Structure 1
């Protein structure tokens, strides 16, 4: 059962390792059917599990192979909670005409609405709250005023909370154009290794990351394992989030990467 959603507002670039590496590019995790970046549920669950008090950890998240091999438990068990993958809802794109514009697509909005139980009409391509009086410049793209469509109900698709109150300029792009723009917007950091003489030792590589100020979310719920303890598990999870509104997910924690602000979606 899907209980609801948890929002993640990225405070710094977030990198979760992908399954492949092409040349000198260390990519991030991507959905197989859309190639869009996402946060694997195992990364989110592992971080939440580590933040859970030890006396309640196994009940909420189950035990681990290490617990079994060390003899503290005889069998692997499933916990009372499940966690879904983290998906993009809105991603910031620099704009020469409007500063920063948050971009999404019908596919991303439809996915969010289905999981969140929102029955509002999904906006059509090029819906925006920017008006249609002047062009919109996004990276190498220029959208003419005649292409833009006024969108009065955009606040339904943006959490009206303090954490997301900076998202005021929004634009819905066609799915394929949004995917291309997301790819262009990803952060790419060049990393090199220096020897004792401060010269480059070997080659260099690029590491991708989802940019800060991206709004993401993940679904969560109670497993069948709960056996009547679902109410306690839900409250424990809410208490856990309330005490860990700032989390670090993914790698490169020592570089300040992967810090996110979390909050429960309102029903």
Structure 2
């Protein structure tokens, strides 16, 4: 069984990548698309820390620190699992409309398959902006005659009523990827010494922009059988008690805060 949890970013979010090019500290990226994502281990660690101590090891399993020096030297598997956090809608600046949220068929149909919904196939250039004037994006201009109306767009924007997403546009996969890349936040980081002057050089750090809508799957492990309902209820309690999470570090800078919304959907 699995369910879907949604993350609406309230501030820029950075999860460390595996490479650093020059003075740019990269973000975690999917290996096959190179799009930003949140590793499941990052989400798991945040949720584990938010789980009450009495049920933490039962839900998430114990850790090496738990077994070192103790009577029980065996690592145990937890009762629940979480998957990676994927992009669904990303805000980009627009000279004609202020901010537009973009996605692409690949991202939308991935979400569709995971949720088990039977929505129609979405083609590029579907939008709710109307087709009477061109759309000016950050690095592109779309002619009005190329845009197609989209009456049921809200079905493709989960938790729509809890976000600011109002203007949406579906782009071809490659164009969407390029525009997402150019819309990532790049924050300058410097180190100050005791005299409040810059020590050494500086670096840029990538971040997913606020108002991005992401999601991740979660569920209970197959071996639970009859105990699955209890484990799912306990994890749901963790979700309910933490409507806002801080992911990816930099809490002192106000980074990584996300609104957590869970809409359960079971699948065999």
TM range (shorter): over 0.9
Aligned match of 2:138: 139
The aligned residue for residue 260 of structure 1 is 258
Structure 2: gaps (5+ residues): none
Instruction: Measure how far apart 1:161 and its partner are.
Output: 4.6
* Match of residue 241 from structure 2: 243
Once the two structures are superposed, residues 180-231 of structure 1 have per-residue CA deviations (whole angstroms, 9 ceiling, x without a partner) of: 0110010001111233444322111000000000000000111024242100
**Deviation string for 1:145-179 (max 9, x for gaps)?**
01111111211111245322x11100000011111
The answer to which of 134-143 and 196-205 deviates more is 196-205
SS of residue paired to 2:237: helix
1:193 aligned counterpart, secondary structure: strand
Q: Does 1:93 align with 2:92?
A: yes
- Match for residue 194 of structure 1? 192
What is the Cα deviation at residue 72 of structure 1?
Answer: 5.5
Structure 2 residue aligned with 1:61? 60
User: Conserved in 1, the CA contact under 8 Å of 2:89 and 2:102?
Assistant: yes
Matches within 5 A, 1:208-223: 208-223=206-221
Matches within 5 A, 1:161-172: 161-164=160-163, 166-172=164-170
Which range moves more in the overlay, 194-203 or 101-110?
Answer: 194-203
Q: Contact conserved, 1:109 with 1:122, CA < 8 A, in 2?
A: no
**Structure 2: distance between partners of 1:88 and 1:57:** 28
Shift of 1:236: 0.8
Q: Give the CA deviation at 1:237.
A: 1.2
Alpha-carbon spacing, 1:160–1:201, altered in 2? closer, same or farther (3 Å): closer
TM-score, structure 1 as length reference:
0.96
Structure 1 moving runs of 4+ over 6 Å: none
**RMSD of aligned Cα (Å):** 1.2
How far apart, CA to CA, are the structure 2 residues paired with 1:155 and 1:162?
Answer: 9
Partner residue, 2:203: 205
- Length-normalised TM-score, structure 2: 0.96
Match of 1:158 in 2: 157
d(CA) in 2 for partners of 1:122, 1:98: 26
The answer (yes or no) to whether the contact 1:6–1:218 under 8 Å persists in 2 is: yes
Q: Are 1:111 and 2:110 an aligned pair? A: yes
Unmatched tracts of structure 1, length 5 or more: none
Q: Deviations over 1:50-100 (max 9, x none)?
A: 000010001110111111113153201111101000000000011110111
Q: CA deviation at 1:24?
A: 0.4
